[in-house]
């Protein structure tokens, strides 16, 4: 094979496209009910936008971005996530002047140069939402509940909604210090990775699968008991609202975010059905990000859904079935029949009827086989006998009933579908 797709970037072929379309249309529909409007931003941005937005010492920015120098010497990057672009567009368009509050939903590909594995790809797709301009915990809760509802609306049930508070600029450093001190006392018992994490991202130690580490940090202080008054109140309020909204959730103080802009509320939707990559969506609050990117000091909260992971979960739950075919097949025998049929087919298609036909003069048997394979519900047969009479045979593939009609009357025999 001379050419193949780039590692970690795969084709989505027609056989699996209906699941994607279902996912996208359900998202736009459900999030639309909550007031989210679709936004489309470029896939490429100035590298600096992501460095500022995501944080210069995050793994994503340090190692995973596809960056290149444009001819004009600008450093550009393929977007590794969607929030920074959306906030940039919000600021650049001046949308905050008109409304202040804005809710956006976006769908599209993201790029991270990681080592691919199940549920993790170099080009992957996210559906994301951002609510900008609201600091009331009600919006956190509403968004978490919306995501939960969205997955249920898709028909999924094998997932858990988990929430946490990461604290703020005031209390998180204090907690990190306490937790860091704790880890140092256990230093000798920790694996090499966790010893490194003490310096880089201590909270990651909670994710470690090493049994010794799990035992060592069993008694570790949790962020929940170290939040400042404001953060604690906010978190409790989020939980109260979630209960009010009837959304089941689990508090998990071990949820960590990989991007620097998150503070206070963090949440994930997780599943145990997808192997190692267990989060199908994740997000949180990012007060301060809009300001950091050059806009007014407005709060925000958002989350992103990993589409490939959701599709896999849909497949595992038998929710990714192909759409029913509403195709009509034209079996044409001989050149005269074809001459006669071409304008008729054209006009029927323009009336909204899906039609496939035989282009290469195969035998009727072979055309019937093809019609069956594409699950045509009706086959229109036009051969020499029919042409001579100006008629066509209409065969119902399910009942096997056939009738003969005038070619000019074909349109009347098909249900009119909206064009």
Q: Which of residues 335-394 bind RNA (CB under 7 A)?
A: 362-366, 368-373, 379, 381, 383-386, 393
Interface residue with RNA, options 108, 109, 180, 258 (CB under 7 A): 258
Residue closer to RNA, measured from CB, 5 or 97: 5
At its nearest, how many Å lie between RNA and the CB of residue 141?
19
Residue closer to RNA, measured from CB, 309 or 338: 309
Distance, CA of 44 to CA of 77 (rounded, Å): 6
Q: How many residues touch RNA (CB under 7 A)?
A: 72
CA triple 324-325-331, angle to 5 deg: 160
Q: Please, are residues 314 and 306 in contact by the beta-carbon 8 Å criterion? A: no
Return the beta strands (E) in 133-208 as ranges.
160-165
Interface residue with RNA, options 26, 67, 135, 277 (CB under 7 A): 277
Cβ partners under 8 Å of residue 339, min gap 6: none
Distance, CA of 65 to CA of 363 (rounded, Å): 54
- 115 sits near RNA (criterion: CB under 7 A): yes
Q: Which of 116, 86, 98 is nearest to 276 (CA)?
A: 116
Interface residue with RNA, options 145, 168, 298, 333 (CB under 7 A): 333
Residue closer to RNA, measured from CB, 95 or 313: 313
- 120 sits near RNA (criterion: CB under 7 A): yes
Identify any residues that bridge with 281 across adjacent strands, giving them in sequence order: 269, 305
Q: Which of 316, 344, 313, 339 is nearest to 328 (CA)?
A: 344
Return the beta strands (E) in 234-377 as ranges.
250-251, 263-270, 279-285, 300-306, 328-332, 355-357
Q: Which phi and psi angles does 19 have, rounded to 5°? A: -65, -40
At its nearest, how many Å lie between RNA and the CB of residue 159?
11
Residue closer to RNA, measured from CB, 354 or 362: 362
Cβ partners under 8 Å of residue 373, min gap 6: none
Binding to RNA in span 289-318, by CB under 7 A: 304-306, 308-309
Site string for RNA, 30-69 (x = CB under 7 A): ----------------------------xxx---x-----
- 272 sits near RNA (criterion: CB under 7 A): no
Residue closer to RNA, measured from CB, 239 or 270: 270
Residue closer to RNA, measured from CB, 65 or 95: 65
Please state whether beta strands 391-396 and 402-406 pair in parallel, antiparallel, or not at all (unpaired).
Answer: antiparallel
- Decide: residue 150, CB within 10 A, 0-12 exposed, 13-18 middle, 19+ buried: buried
At its nearest, how many Å lie between RNA and the CB of residue 378?
10
User: For the packed helices 307-316 and 137-154, what is the interaxial angle rounded to 10 degrees?
Assistant: 40
Residue closer to RNA, measured from CB, 178 or 208: 208
Sequence length of the chain is 419
Stretch that binds RNA, among 18-26, 205-213, 224-232, 410-418 (CB under 7 A): 205-213
Alpha-carbon distances of 308 from 29, 108, 121, rounded to whole Å: 19, 12, 9
Binding to RNA in span 67-106, by CB under 7 A: 81
Site string for RNA, 392-411 (x = CB under 7 A): -x-x-xx-x-x---------
At its nearest, how many Å lie between RNA and the CB of residue 370?
6
At its nearest, how many Å lie between RNA and the CB of residue 244?
25
Binding to RNA in span 121-160, by CB under 7 A: 121, 124, 126
Binding to RNA in span 218-257, by CB under 7 A: 256-257
């Amino acid at each position: 094979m001379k050419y193949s797709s780039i590692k970690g970037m795969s084709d989505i072929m027609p056989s699996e496209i209906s699941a994607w379309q279902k996912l996208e249309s359900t998202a736009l529909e459900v999030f639309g009910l909550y007031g989210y409007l679709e936004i489309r931003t470029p896939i490429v941005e100035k590298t600096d936008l992501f460095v500022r937005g995501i944080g210069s010492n995050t793994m994503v920015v340090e190692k995973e971005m596809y960056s290149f120098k444009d001819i004009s010497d600008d450093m550009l990057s393929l977007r590794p996530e969607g929030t920074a672009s959306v906030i940039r567009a919000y600021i650049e368009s001046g949308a905050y002047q008109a409304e202040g509050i804005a809710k956006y939903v976006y769908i599209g590909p993201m790029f991270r140069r990681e080592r691919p594995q199940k549920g993790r790809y170099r080009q992957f797709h996210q559906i994301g939402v951002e609510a900008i301009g609201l600091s009331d915990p009600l919006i956190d809760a509403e968004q978490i509940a919306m995501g939960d509802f969205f997955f249920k609306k898709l028909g999924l049930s094998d997932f858990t909604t988990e929430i946490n508070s990461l604290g703020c600029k005031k209390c998180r450093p204090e907690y990190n210090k306490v937790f860091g001190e704790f880890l140092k006392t256990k230093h000798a018992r920790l694996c090499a990775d966790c010893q490194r994490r003490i310096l880089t991202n201590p909270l990651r130690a909670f994710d470690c699968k090493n049994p010794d580490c799990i035992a060592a940090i069993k008694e570790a202080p949790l962020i929940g008991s170290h939040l400042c008054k404001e953060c604690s109140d906010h978190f409790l309020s989020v939980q109260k609202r979630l209960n009010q909204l009837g959304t089941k959730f689990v508090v998990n103080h071990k949820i960590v975010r990989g991007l620097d802009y998150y503070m206070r509320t963090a949440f994930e939707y997780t599943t145990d059905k997808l192997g190692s990559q267990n989060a199908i969506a994740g997000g949180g609050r990012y007060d301060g990000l809009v300001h950091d990117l050059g806009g007014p000091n407005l709060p925000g909260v958002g989350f992103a859904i990993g589409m490939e992971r959701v599709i896999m979960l849909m497949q595992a739950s038998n929710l990714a079935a192909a759409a029913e075919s509403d195709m009509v097949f034209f079996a044409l025998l001989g050149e005269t029949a074809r001459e006669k049929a071409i304008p008729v087919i054209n006009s029927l298609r323009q009336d909204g009827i899906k039609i496939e036909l035989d282009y290469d003069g195969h035998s009727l048997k072979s055309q019937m086989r093809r019609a069956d394979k594409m699950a045509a519900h009706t086959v229109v047969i036009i051969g020499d006998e029919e042409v001579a009479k100006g008629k066509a045979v209409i065969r119902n593939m399910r009942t096997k009933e056939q009738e003969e009609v005038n070619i000019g009357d074909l349109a009347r025999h098909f249900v009119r579908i909206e064009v």
